[in-house]
Amino acid sequence: HDILCAEQVAAQGWGSCDAWKPATFGVDPQGTNEQHEKTQAGYAQLRFGFDDLPLPVDGNVGLRLVRTDMRAKGYMTFSSNAPTLQAGQTFGGVPIPNVTPFSKSLDAGQVYTNVLPSLNLRMKVNDQLQFRAALAQAISRPDFSDMQAYTSLSLNTTQRTSGNTVIVDNVALTGTANGNPLLKPVKSNQLDLTGEWYFSKAGSLTFALFDKELKDVIVKQSSTVQLLDGAGQPVNFTVTSPVNGAKGHARGLEVSLQRYLDMLPGWMSGIGFQANYTYVDSKTKPYNPVLSAYCAGTSTSADNLNLNTNGCDTDGKTFGNLPLLNLSKNAFNLALLYDYGPISARLAYNWRSRYLQGVNVNGTNGSDGRLADGTTVAWALPTWQDGYGQLDGGITYRVNDHFSLSLEGQNLSNSLPRQLMQQQIGFMTRSVESTGRRYSVQAS
């Protein structure tokens, strides 16, 4: 190492070998995210049937009991840019809390139990037509990224010097929590109604309606974290973190059609097609809504909630009325199929409309927006994934019952995913990703 370093110093003109140092990931507290989740579940079901009815009905009623034990380990850090006085200098202006920078470990966890009933019914009109109804309660646990136990607090000052006096004009006490280990799962009361028509041995048409009423939807919201200064007095930091802070709904319909042309002779009977379309209407309703038409700064809880839930343009106007994350309003799939003898092939085009990715995210927010009167405001532009579709295909040849060869291709259309950021002037392109075409060969 010493010989190599000496050669690099001579070749590159470095001052010393200290120009390169190994990364500290794994040692730096910011790189630590340890989580443990253990679940236990029990399920009981009762089946029933009423075959003597003019239209026979059967189904089941069930009860699922789920216990979740979650633990997270991480860190809380505090940093400060408070000025250091030189000899003969004094402080003036806004007082600075006396809190020593630190990094300490966090250990958080919770145990919760969910009781989830369900009812499923089927009514058979005849051998080709039947209807289903399902009523249930369900949960969706938070992503592990939202459960991280890491909080960073900071004291930031705006300062200037006048003679021998260091004047502090402003002290900002803020922070960010990468996650919240005390998050509860999102709960859903859901109803599904389905009609199924099997019009041939190799053809079916399905129509479904669904309604999911949600509570404890996870949103970002501000709260207060308290530290003690050197005199034992509380110092309050405004921290933004994910919380169970909203209710909402996702409701819509789905239509699906599948058909093989088995009426054709020979190899042509293996030709088929598949198509489906889904429409989803979704919305979130914060438990603590902010109805202001404009965003202010980020010094109070209401202001932060407006930024994190509604989003705000660079001119201070609130967006609001945003859907649930990651849900497209429209989506469809079209596929051409072939299954005959040893050959199976599929060529499919999948498309989904624009969907919301996040509201107050890194890189599309700031505090230098302007109202019409020149007042400075905070802003946070929602980011969206633009409508996107791609063509995929694959073919498999079964040599025998124990060996087959496959060729698959993804994104044959060479489509380009595009990220948008929302503004009052429209949805503007933020980034474009080129993934290219991908091919794979497999023997199994």
Residues linked to residue 393 through DSSP beta bridges, in sequence order: 347, 409
Residues of the chain with pLDDT under 70: 1-31, 296-304, 372
Q: Nearest 5°: CA angle at 331, between 328 and 332?
A: 170
Residues present in the chain in total: 444
- Residue 1's pLDDT is 45
Residues 6+ apart with CB under 8 A from 27: none
- Are 91 and 53 spatial neighbours (Cβ–Cβ below 8 Å)? no
- Residue 57's pLDDT is 96
- Are 249 and 211 spatial neighbours (Cβ–Cβ below 8 Å)? yes
Helix locations, 222-305, DSSP H: 301-305
- Residue 38's pLDDT is 95
- Residue 119's pLDDT is 98
Q: What is the pLDDT of residues 409-433, one digit of tens each?
A: 999 999 999 999 998 888 999 999 9
Q: Is the pTM of this model over 0.85?
A: no
